[in-house]
A and B are shown apart, each in its own frame.
Chain A
Amino acid sequence: MTQIVDLPDPEQLALRILRRERAAVASGLNLLDNKLAEARNRSARLLAALAGEHWLKDGHLIGITGPPGAGKSSLVAAMIREWRLSGRSVGVLAVDPSSRPELGGGALLGDRIRIKHASYDEGLFIRSLANRNQLGGVANEVWPMSWLMLACFDIVVIETVGVGQTEIDIAEIGDTVCYVAQPASGDTIQYLKSGIIEIPDIFAVNKADLGAAAHKTASEIGRSAPRQDRREDWDYPVCLVSATTHTGITAMLEHCDRHRSFLANAGWLDKLRLRHQRAWVVRLLKEEFGTFGLELLGGRHLIGQRLSENPSHQFAEYERMRKHIFSRFISINQPGSPTT
């Protein structure tokens, strides 16, 4: 295929991203979103170039989910205001649903308007994404994009609409998962029943200004949340917040910080991130090459092993595996090219 798009040099781009150049961040996100064969090569190189010890230790990836109408965007806006006041830079990935493929697969990405602040802010970067009907409700691209942002922002927020499967996906991205509930909503009750409640680390009941209803919902969640014992030392806090009156936000952010320290002190933060990276690499290899491709690498188990052997360079390993599969394809299909 002819080269029709100017693709950036990934190693150069990584340097600029680490220097927090906005244009480089934008261009890196575009690259990670690109499905052309050459772009996939360069994406793997970009991630490999960004990787390193600090990447597993620094920053904070926060997933925020909840039913439509719970006020997630307004809450995120309020959280951003606080983080920015304390001098922390913030990257946001806002995920909206796509229309069904037979209806064109288009999407209206309207979160910016709800999140963004009136004035220009160098320390805030928002990218909206469509979920593109991918299984699990979160597009595959969200994983690498969140890691890119983690390389240059203090806080990275991934905001998704909670529709069943999404919560499971979001748990595979974030260091910390927050569930935003709205008072007296059927969604929240369903949620409590569904068992997905075992995923979030922090619960926020928004619209606390509604009073009694909010307290009731908070206590319902409070009764259900601690039942699970995923991480026995974590207290699964339930906070009452109001994005409109800007109350409870600081307390919620303190819980976020506390959760991050909790993970770091227990030695789980880097392990969690490595596990997420590994899961994504396998998912992506499968998407690109299918089960047959995975078999060429010796199967899921072996792939997992190879990735774990060199934890801070999983993406370099990922790149090697892709090259390996390509070379196998080429030897099978001689003399054709695999990408025609």
Chain B
Amino acid sequence: MPAAPKDRDQPWLMRTYSGHSSAKASNELYRTNLAKGQTGLSVAFDLPTQTGYDADSPLARGEVGKVGVPISHIEDMDQLFAEIPLDKMNTSMTINATAAWLLSLYVGLAQRRGIAPSQLSGTTQNDIIKEYLSRGTYIYPPGPSMRLIADTINYTVKHVPKWNPTNVCSYHLQEAGATPVQELAYALCTAMAVLDRVKASGEIEAQAFPQVVERISFFVNAGIRFVEECCKLRAFGELWDQLTLTRYQVTDPKLRRFRYGVQVNSLGLTEAQPENNVQRIVLEMLAVVLSKRARARAIQLPAWNEAMGLPRPWDQQWALRMQQVMAFETDLLEYGDILDGSPVIAAKVSELIEGARREIENVEAQGGIIAAIESGYIKRELVGSHMDRLRAIESGDLKIIGVNCFQETAESPLTLGGDGAIMKTDPAAEREQIERLQAHRRNRNDAEVRAALQALTDAAKSGENVMPGSIRCALAGVSTGEWGDTLRAVFGEFRPPTGIDIAIDSRQVLGKKDQVSELRERVARTGNAIGRPLKLLVGKPGLDGHSNGAEQVAVKARDVGFEVVYDGIRLTPQQIAQAAQEEGVHVVGLSILSGSHMELVESVLQELRSRDLANLPVIAGGIIPREDAERLVALGVRAVYTPKDFSLNAIMGDIVDLVRECNGLERLGLLH
């Protein structure tokens, strides 16, 4: 017998992370998704918007509307939320370095529509620390960046009380390789850094500080080891409860609740046999809903085909339906916490708590998370953990169905369609966005724009909260690039440690020992035959900051004997070609995950040709659909690697053979 509806718990907020091409196209998608039963919005912004550039900036080329929606000014924001009531909607924005700006556009739009900011509810991700470590859409150095976060918190606590101004992210730490213990420790260290900064700003009176603590929410990852993940979330809750009590003296237990949203793991999704991702996603969701005491407040699920390219509306619908089946068909929401009292769960939770405490103490002893980032410690730890994971996959110790075992498969009907089973962004989107932006610039009041920007500069310099000045900018029609540049002029820009300066950890991190020895021998022999050691340039063109793949390739190449030049993220094709020339490399590897591979790779090849380097071999890696891979090869790219190529040793073997072939030596073939 079905239980009476009154006995059921309220389900979590259901969202789908989406946005693409233009504000208009994204608005249509949002309204369709809401009609399908989605209960909140999760906005994906494109990389120029995330990194504070206008659509017509040279660095934005090829990136406009690719990984999300371009928002250049308040009219774009208006179009994005056309026919969506801001006072009733719960909107989550995945935005970090420019969070204060996008929030200002949202608040400014609400004001224009006659809605009081106090009516607004939603979340800005606004966690810069994981941007330095993993996601890469930072702009300013840590000091000013933390100040921007504090400004948004101080502003929203007073004026937009239902808003979650920052979502401390452990999600991206896991993507960068973090173990559950590292995820717990670094996320909590981040939260402490944020709260300490707000406290130090002195804008909040001591008795109001528990309200600030209550507004801190988290954005968490859940991987396929769902029992451990479930325990991780219970550990999070307990650690946060203790931390807020002891460190911040929050006496009301309600204000100490660990509130979090989830996107389940995209790292474990496979390109091979992609239909298996459906069960992976469902099991990962189970980890964050199973335990009532540690249940997610909001969930967004990836689509089954995210390792192949951008999902289509139907793919996203499928992800939403998974949540709805879990919430409305199963009996999960009819019970209290079904894990309470389990000694196995309790033991695992204490193990995680103890490990996390030790690592938190370790980071605190180094002067806190910012100091540990600046010294490169955390990045090295993450790159090391990630290397361990890849080694386990290569050796087969970590099984991934369809990838390193059970590879046999019938042809999947899911991928047979003419569209390659992925969404294509509108190729005209970039041009249209630029035209729209330039028309907007012509139609606004220049004097007002100048005055608003001047006020923003003054606030940034004086230490006054930048939010009121930013809202004024939003209403005056200032563009995203203008806001970003104004603060760049005051704060400067940041280049973080790359994390690839980790020591060679003897044989442990190197994958199959025999293959590594063989590779080293091949690299050395080839270097001797062509007269100098093999030199590889690893380049990340464009604005995409997902550097994990590039870093792993760089570290692996070094470990097998290459001399590796890695210049970090956000490079123009011209800079990459210039580095290839100045450094005299034998091969160039490009890593692109933003979907702009066609434009960016072609530009790099063109720049190389203009420097007489047409014969320099170029390979590319990233989330690149098969059809695009074929086009890249036709353009002259020598090899394309996608998530299905999990064996770094095999890739290294290929690179050596490629260099050999280009230098008139015979290929050595597969590794033994």
Contact = CB atoms under 8 A, between A and B. Distances in A.
A113 B495 contact: yes
B581 A22 contact: yes
A99 B582 contact: no
Interface in B89-125: none
Contact of A128 (B504, B581, B583, B664): B583
Contact of A30 (B532, B567, B568, B611): B532
B560 A104 contact: yes
Interface stretch (A31-39, A152-160, A192-200): A31-39
Interface string A17-30: 00000110011011
Nearest to A25: B582
A203 B520 CA distance: 40
Contacts of A118: 493
A104 B493 CA distance: 36
Interface in B532-587: 532-533, 554-555, 557-568, 572, 574-575, 578-579, 581-584
A106 B559 contact: yes
B465 interface: no
Contacts of B568: 113
Contact of A105 (B524, B574, B575, B664): B524
Contact of A107 (B530, B563, B581, B582): B563
By CB atoms of chain B within 10 A, which of A4, A108, A110, A132 has the most? A108
A23 B611 contact: yes
Nearest to A141: B532
B664 A110 contact: no
A36 B526 CA distance: 12
B563 A126 contact: no
B498 interface: yes
B663 interface: yes
A233 to B, nearest CB: 38
Contacts of B516: 104
B523 interface: yes
Interface in B402-449: none
A278 interface: no
A13 B611 CA distance: 16
Nearest to B141: A244
Q: Interface residues of A toward B: which range?
A: 35 or more
B501 interface: yes
B663 to A, nearest CB: 6
B578 A120 contact: yes
B367 interface: no
A103 B566 contact: no
B566 A108 contact: yes
Nearest to A107: B563
Contacts of A35: 528, 531-532
A106 B562 contact: yes
A23 B577 CA distance: 12
Contacts of B665: 4
Contacts of B583: 109, 112, 126-128
A107 B561 CA distance: 7
A106 B531 contact: no
A106 B564 contact: yes
Contacts of A105: 520, 524, 533, 561
B504 A5 contact: no
B567 A113 contact: yes
A5 B565 contact: no
A130 interface: yes
A113 B376 CA distance: 15
B612 interface: yes
A33 B567 contact: no
Contacts of B581: 22-23, 26
B529 interface: yes
Given A104-B561, A127-B582, A114 B523 contact: no
Contact of B504 (A27, A99, A127): A99
Contacts of A39: 531
A125 to B, nearest CB: 6
A33 B563 CA distance: 13
Contact of B558 (A23, A107, A114): A107
Interface in B145-189: none
A226 to B, nearest CB: 35
B531 A26 contact: no
A22 B580 CA distance: 12
A113 B523 contact: no
Contact of A104 (B498, B520, B565): B520
A116 interface: yes
B520 A23 contact: no
Nearest to B561: A104
B584 A114 contact: no
Contacts of B230: none
B593 interface: no
Given A104-B523, A116-B567, A127-B583, A110 B500 contact: yes
Contact of A106 (B495, B529, B561): B561
A114 B494 CA distance: 11
Interface in A2-59: 2, 4-5, 22-23, 26-27, 29-30, 33-36, 39
Contacts of B529: 4
Given A5-B531, A110-B566, 17 more contacts: A4-B530, A4-B663, A4-B665, A26-B581, A30-B532, A34-B530, A35-B531, A103-B504, A104-B504, A106-B558, A107-B558, A110-B498, A112-B565, A118-B493, A120-B575, A127-B584, A130-B533
Interface of A: 2, 4-5, 22-23, 26-27, 29-30, 33-36, 39, 98-99, 103-110, 112-114, 116, 118, 120, 125-128, 130, 132
Closest 3 CB pairs of A and B: A34-B531, A104-B561, A36-B531
